[in-house]
Structure 1
């Protein structure tokens, strides 16, 4: 992943796209004011990077190697699939999204509940987001495509001890994914209004045609018991894997973390140090 190229992508996340995640993240109350058309639908979109924006959203947050702890007391990994998308934008409206590549992503988040917009907890400057250096091309963004075979796994190594941080989750267990997610996102980019912790989205993409693409963080997995109760500390090692579970075994992932010489040919891996 070329970080320089990412400077010309807009970054948005999908809130509430895995069952129970908002509750585990302590955000369910904030989102209770938002009604969705379907029970399991995501709650909405939020921005975390808008190139040249005059607010904190203009900070370039991506890193392939480290997370800036910034002395934040309640910092959590959010292990996700990121989608690099082309787009069609006409007359102030998003007409189409075209996911081209996918990879491992850490939508690292500040859990301090201060009543501000969700976006304010997502970008605190350099190295506040994690993105794998290697992304995988999407053959077709549907259940017949390669992405349907992939799982998400995340870990923290602290003081030499490895812990599961998020539950191992199939990509196809997202509440919305493939065509359903794509249609939902297009509607939200065009019509989402300011409600509760979410802001109006369309004004943020008014200059979209001046940019290369959109990066979508599709939503964070649920947490393990360790992940729920342990916030990040300086010195922690973060691992997020998005891997073809029909090609690579869980043992392959464990061997890779332990430093064994293993080639994960169908995997996007993120490894970061908290500093």
Structure 2
């Protein structure tokens, strides 16, 4: 699915321990949240039509291209949800309608001195990755299809498959379903340009109020290999969502499994 006309946003800090492991907690030390486990904010990683680096369509499928300069890049295994955006007459976001979900690699470079999260998120084409299949969302609340899915990730290096992120149920997200949607709507309308965060309402205006948003809703914590190893050319990345009632976490395809598989190059 091509998303060139869709604003693409990410959620920072929506899984316990991820920011600490990624070494990014200090970036948010002055960002206040309503609850201790609340996400820190929203960041853009693709702005259709923008003249900035965020205007480059960065989402790949089977390839992940590392920056030309030396960079400490890590997989960020996530679920991405495609939402329809509903605006009122004043172009304020009043609803987000979840349509479908897939797996996502919000690959991030650990870049010292970056003023905004977005500076670590996009560096050109194929700096992100999206799954091969979309699962329709029957309802974005408990009792729906997403209740049963888990998210896991692996990196294959020199023929050996290593767990990269922990295997986690989607219900393990700190903010999910209605709580997440309410929070997203608020941040899309009110988040200010402060610290590592950006004014999302201004981005919506600059992109001519797109009808849809792809939102990656947060990365899992890292497994031991993920904590200690950055990506290298020649690695293979797998980000997998599977229905735990009928499937396992293997990289083998099956009926209700969503697999993102990328080969890493520089």
- Cα distance in 1 for partners of 2:136, 2:208 equals 23
Q: Is the 8 A contact 1:88 1:94 kept in 2?
A: yes
5+ residue gaps in structure 2? none
Alignment map for 1:206-217 (pairs within 5 Å):
206=205, 211-217=210-216
Determine whether 1:265 maps to 2:255.
Answer: yes
Alignment map for 1:99-178 (pairs within 5 Å):
99-178=98-177
- Cα distance in 2 for partners of 1:114, 1:207 equals 26
- Once the two structures are TM-superposed, the CA of residue 87 in structure 1 deviates from its matched residue by 1.2
Determine whether 1:80 maps to 2:78.
Answer: yes
- Cα distance in 2 for partners of 1:209, 1:267 equals 35
Runs of 4+ off more than 2 Å? 207-212
Q: Is the 8 A contact 1:89 1:208 kept in 2?
A: no
- Cα distance in 2 for partners of 1:215, 1:39 equals 26
- Once the two structures are TM-superposed, the CA of residue 211 in structure 1 deviates from its matched residue by 3.0
Q: Which of 30, 33, 38 is 2:35 aligned to?
A: 38
3-state secondary structure, aligned to 1:202 = helix
- Cα distance in 1 for partners of 2:71, 2:190 equals 35
Alignment map for 1:62-81 (pairs within 5 Å):
62-71=59-68, 72-81=70-79
CA RMSD, Structure 1 to Structure 2 (Å): 1.2
- Cα distance in 1 for partners of 2:186, 2:248 equals 37
1:108-143 superposed Cα distances (whole Å, 9 cap, x missing partner): 001122132000111111000000121110011011
* Count of residue pairs the alignment pairs up: 263
5+ residue gaps in structure 1? 257-262
- Cα distance in 2 for partners of 1:207, 1:137 equals 29
3-state secondary structure, aligned to 1:219 = strand
- Cα distance in 2 for partners of 1:77, 1:223 equals 9
- Cα distance in 1 for partners of 2:246, 2:178 equals 25
Q: TM-score, normalised by structure 2?
A: 0.96
Q: Is the 8 A contact 2:48 2:207 kept in 1?
A: no
- Cα distance in 2 for partners of 1:158, 1:47 equals 30
